[in-house]
Structure 1
Amino acid sequence: MADVEDVLALENQLCFAIVTAARNVVSIYRPVLEPLGLTHPQYLVMLALWERAPQSLSELAAALAVEPATLSPTVKRLEAQGRIARRRRGSDERVLEITLTEEGARLRERALSVPGEIMDRVGMQRSDVERLRDGLQPFAGSRTGENDKD
């Protein structure tokens, strides 16, 4: 069977390629985000809030495809940095809303260079990034509607 490709070889696994790429993407972003004082998870939160603010913690978690409990420490660190504020929604005190502070809103201007810097670092054009992103869409959300829990 030496001439038959091993379908279970690690290097043949899509899951391994995606996980490895995800780790590498975060390390590529790290030096670009450091001057902004952001980690990659914080950058994602800011991106979501720059698109729409305020958002409830659960809305923000859904937009970022994470559990609210996972997101809470990141939100608290951004609040401690003065970039976002948490407050109770006036129409429903049970809902915790996250909104941008003036400093957080101003940070967007400085972040405008991030996508270009990342593309330069990996040697890709915008169209390359769009094709890659679009190609990952089948893996970006649950197609079966089931949660992946071990």
Structure 2
Amino acid sequence: ADNDTEFQIKRKHIKGVIADMFAAGTDTSSIAIEWGMSEVLRNPPVLKKLQEELERVVGMERMVQESDLPSLVYLQAVVKETLRLHPPGPLAIPHLSLEDCSVSGYEIPGGTCVLLNLWAIGRNPKSWEDAESFKPERFMEKTGAAEVDVNV
């Protein structure tokens, strides 16, 4: 092989990739937590309801454990509502349409790279009642929103 056309991976390249991965993985999580805390603090009734649920389910003597999560229904709703209003990345990862299709009246040819605007989807008044308001209860009602799984 011709050494002029081969890419040499050096220690600095590996360090750069690891730093990028670390920053991307921690930055998005910390941004989501910051927004969640901000929304809870700006909405005292939400804070009170969340505190009551944590005291009832977990108590004051120990930390929250993963096994507590299924019982922390309001906390799950707060997380979902935070991610709806403040997605850590405003655009989803690019998707490729494998064949021609139609989405909400838009014709998308096969082979098209599609970017979803998560920020706009989460604030669309056609999809969300009172879209700009922080209302975790919307994810607790017997609607499609209640079934949203943010772990996927």
TM-score range (shorter-chain normalised) is 0.3 to 0.5
Between Structure 1 and Structure 2, the one with more helix by share is 1
Between Structure 1 and Structure 2, the one with more strand by share is 1
**TM-score of the superposed pair, with normalisation by structure 2:** 0.33
